[in-house]
A and B are shown apart, each in its own frame.
Chain A
Amino acid sequence: MRIGRVRLTWTHLAALLIAAFVAAPLYWMAASSLKGPEEIGANPPDLWPPNATFENYRQAFVDNNFGTYLVNSVLVSVVATTLVLSLSAFAGYALARLPLRGKAPIMVALLMISLFPTIALAAPLFLLMRDIGWLNSYQGLILVYTALNVPFAVWILRNFFLGIPKEMEEVAWVDGASPVRTVLSVILPQARPGMFTAAIFTFTACWTEFLIALTLNTADRFRTMPVGLALFGSQFTVPYGTIFAAATVSVLPIALLVLVFRRAVVSGLTAGAVKG
């Protein structure tokens, strides 16, 4: 037991260290977002905002259209993530368990697609979307994000499905469950960590994507947050305060989601654990 307690202490210490390394830059961002323009460039910097002000937040939301961009980002990311998960869960299952020919080529092809540099895709995607009239729309961006994130999600989900004992589904089959139901009610709950991981990564990928959003949606009312942030300031000024205020707001939803659904998140990561 003593060993156990010592270990516990080390674990906590290590966790604290990790937390400090991760949190320090975030703290600095949040602290700087509360500083006035002069304090932002103070040398040496003030560790704590001496005259905390919400002026930067006011500028981000009132002077700039940051609220609109935020809503657009949420909409696009949520819909794209939902689509990606529903498409990849079935595709991943098929590629893990069902007797398909050419699985290896399919997996490699998916890999190839996801490694093609975005800079080379932006211009042709613009042509594509112009031809179907989906420039400056939500659906255009959602479709592109879905397509670009399915490969990763399939890879990760297939991997998790492979870790699930076959007996489970075989039992379901024996009981006469339909294939779709088997996947939905037997496989997916088992692979919750995988679904959770794929969901987080898809969501953040959509949430942070810049170049394609910039290219496809130029009208202000369809712009997403990363693009909106690039509009702050002017050619020769980097308004760090406003950018950090907006950035602080942009990471809050994620933090809140994870905290609110803390139990679901943790059970998502643990409940599916296969006890052999």
Chain B
Amino acid sequence: MSDTPPEGTPSAAAGPPGEDDGHTLAYGRSRHHPPPRGGPAEVGQPAEAAGQPPGGPGGRSRLRPPQRSVLERRFARLGWAFALPGLFVVLAVTLFPIVFSVAMSLSDVDVSAGGFSLSGFTTGHYGLLLGSERWRHALVFTVLYTIGTVVAELILGTLIALVLERLGGVGRSWMMALLLLPWAMITVVSAQLWAYMYNGVYGILTAASESVTGEPVQFLGTRFPAIISMAVADVWKTTPFVAIIVLAGLMMLPTDVTEAARVDGAGAWTAFWRVRLPLLRPALTIAVLFRILQAFGIFDLPFVLTGGGPGDATESLALLGWHVMFTNLDFGPGAAVAASTAALVLVGCLLFLRAFRSQVGEEEAGT
């Protein structure tokens, strides 16, 4: 087992192999397996559709026997018993809001004292988006901003994680505590803090830039500086998230892999690049995935820091959605902004999963 790299992400993009990545305990194969001691298995739903052929078309189903044994069905029931409570809570709370929101985006919505009334079916709200310069601009900005900040955070976060890993001991725990502080700050407040530091007249950063260059830099007053300044504030707050996930991933790596590489004469850099980085794939994937989600939905920071300005320079899709919904009180178009954002980011995530998987897979093959 020791030289088998831990496997990674659920292969959402790669299709059904998530059914069984080769991690599922091969209960069915285990000849000396005792039956589970009942209990929880009975709590769960009976596994439905037991007659379907297992495994699916994924390439990794080789470990599975072609048919499900009684024991295996029993474990499937146990699986549902474990998984259902969590899934049920999630669905119970989010299903209605999401369906409602999508319905709003597809019908004529009247906000009135009697509540929201939805009538008819229309794709007009989406048409409005597609025809709107404002929406297109917000989309382009959000995509570029997401790519820029996530890449920066990924690189910085990984570097920080490596530094912390080496640091060890007391130093590491102090650093961890410190790193968690920006992350634990209320976004609205950290945005206020940066707005205060960037302030064009009495901001500490403005003063610092004046003493360095002789001319105060206006961080938020003009287009590109405003975008960069917002990104810096964002990176400050969210890189710890990446760093901690990657650090936890590093800690889970089997140490002998690196040692083996070192014995083989690989330098520290090569060992990291060729051996440990591919092994970090699962941790990196999760970090990036959820950072994409959050960056794509960025709202509080532009809301407080720039108000989307100057002009429309920093208006993100979420900020646009908020304005359409709660400033203009246009709930239909607002819901359309939200739903289209969700659809786009889903596509983005799936693309990322596919690309990242295959690319790192090659690295792995080369090792």
Q: Is A–B contact present in the complex under a CB 8 A cutoff? A: yes
What distance in Å separates the Cβ of A217 from its nearest Cβ neighbour in chain B?
16
**Chain A residues, CB < 8 A from B351:** none
Are A98 and B24 in contact, with the CB atoms below 8 A? Answer: yes
Size of the B side of the interface (Cβ < 8 Å), in residues, is 144
The chain B residue sitting closest to A269, CB to CB, is B251
Q: Quick one: which of A14, A99, A146, A225 contacts B89, CB cutoff 8 A? A: A146
Are A117 and B338 in contact, with the CB atoms below 8 A? Answer: yes
Are A18 and B175 in contact, with the CB atoms below 8 A? Answer: yes
Decide yes or no whether B293 CB sits under 8 A from chain A. Answer: yes
Decide yes or no whether A75 CB sits under 8 A from chain B. Answer: no
Indicate the size class of the contact surface on chain A. 35 or more
Decide yes or no whether B27 CB sits under 8 A from chain A. Answer: yes
Are A151 and B90 in contact, with the CB atoms below 8 A? Answer: yes
Q: Quick one: which of B98, B178, B187, B334 contacts A22, CB cutoff 8 A? A: B178
Decide yes or no whether A21 CB sits under 8 A from chain B. Answer: yes
Mark the stretch among B121-129, B192-200, B307-315, B355-363 that contacts chain A. Answer: B192-200
Are B24 and A23 in contact, with the CB atoms below 8 A? Answer: no
Complex Cα distance, B188 from A250, in Å, reads: 13
Are B10 and A158 in contact, with the CB atoms below 8 A? Answer: yes
What distance in Å separates the Cβ of B64 from its nearest Cβ neighbour in chain A?
8
Are A193 and B189 in contact, with the CB atoms below 8 A? Answer: no
Are A265 and B175 in contact, with the CB atoms below 8 A? Answer: no
The chain B residue sitting closest to A259, CB to CB, is B177
Given A99-B75, A174-B32, A258-B176, check contact A274 B254 (CB 8 Å): yes
Decide yes or no whether A197 CB sits under 8 A from chain B. Answer: yes
**Chain B residues, CB < 8 A from A152:** 290
Are B39 and A167 in contact, with the CB atoms below 8 A? Answer: no
What distance in Å separates the Cβ of B107 from its nearest Cβ neighbour in chain A?
14
Mark the stretch among B80-88, B147-155, B217-225 that contacts chain A. Answer: B80-88
Q: Quick one: which of A94, A180, A204, A269 contacts B79, CB cutoff 8 A? A: A94
What distance in Å separates the Cβ of B158 from its nearest Cβ neighbour in chain A?
12
Are A119 and B254 in contact, with the CB atoms below 8 A? Answer: no
Complex Cα distance, B158 from A14, in Å, reads: 13
Are B207 and A21 in contact, with the CB atoms below 8 A? Answer: no
What distance in Å separates the Cβ of A29 from its nearest Cβ neighbour in chain B?
5
- For B33, B97, B192, B289, the residue with the greatest tally of chain A CB atoms inside 10 Å of its CB is B97
Per-residue interface assignment for chain B, residues 158 to 179, with 1 indicating a CB less than 8 Å from any chain A CB and 0 otherwise: 0110011011011111111111
**Chain B residues, CB < 8 A from A103:** 10, 18-20
Are B182 and A96 in contact, with the CB atoms below 8 A? Answer: no
Are A87 and B89 in contact, with the CB atoms below 8 A? Answer: yes
Decide yes or no whether B282 CB sits under 8 A from chain A. Answer: yes
Given A155-B286, A176-B37, check contact A272 B252 (CB 8 Å): yes
Complex Cα distance, B253 from A243, in Å, reads: 42
Are B86 and A276 in contact, with the CB atoms below 8 A? Answer: no
Are B186 and A113 in contact, with the CB atoms below 8 A? Answer: no
Decide yes or no whether A52 CB sits under 8 A from chain B. Answer: no
**Chain B residues, CB < 8 A from A159:** 8-9, 282-283, 285-286
What distance in Å separates the Cβ of B75 from its nearest Cβ neighbour in chain A?
5
Are A119 and B342 in contact, with the CB atoms below 8 A? Answer: no
Q: Quick one: which of A14, A90, A108 contacts B86, CB cutoff 8 A? A: A90
**Chain A residues, CB < 8 A from B100:** 124, 127
What distance in Å separates the Cβ of A25 from its nearest Cβ neighbour in chain B?
6
What distance in Å separates the Cβ of A205 from its nearest Cβ neighbour in chain B?
10
Are B93 and A166 in contact, with the CB atoms below 8 A? Answer: no
The chain B residue sitting closest to A41, CB to CB, is B202
**Chain A residues, CB < 8 A from B167:** 11-12, 15
Given A124-B100, A226-B186, A247-B189, check contact A104 B87 (CB 8 Å): no
Complex Cα distance, B12 from A227, in Å, reads: 37
Decide yes or no whether A74 CB sits under 8 A from chain B. Answer: no
Complex Cα distance, B49 from A94, in Å, reads: 18
Complex Cα distance, B256 from A127, in Å, reads: 55
**Chain B residues, CB < 8 A from A106:** 83, 87
23 sample A-B contacts, Cβ–Cβ < 8 Å, listed by A number: A12-B171, A45-B207, A90-B86, A101-B47, A104-B16, A113-B90, A115-B296, A117-B297, A117-B318, A118-B299, A119-B299, A119-B334, A125-B93, A156-B245, A159-B8, A167-B1, A173-B33, A200-B244, A226-B188, A226-B189, A238-B192, A251-B181, A276-B257
Interface residue ranges, B against A (CB under 8 Å): 1-3, 6-12, 15-21, 23-28, 30, 32-34, 36-37, 39-41, 47-49, 52, 54, 68, 72, 75-76, 78-87, 89-90, 92-94, 96-98, 100-101, 115-116, 159-160, 163-164, 166-167, 169-190, 192-194, 196-197, 201-204, 207, 210, 236, 240-241, 244-245, 247-248, 251-257, 282-283, 285-286, 289-290, 293, 296-297, 299-300, 317-318, 321-322, 325-326, 331, 334-335, 338-339, 341-342, 345-346, 349-350
> Can you name 8 extra interface pairs (CB under 8 A) apart from A91-B82, A104-B11?
A22-B236, A26-B181, A99-B28, A100-B80, A113-B90, A170-B30, A273-B251, A275-B256
8 A-B pairs with the lowest CB-CB distances in the bound complex, closest first:
A104-B18, A98-B79, A120-B338, A276-B254, A147-B93, A276-B2, A91-B86, A87-B86
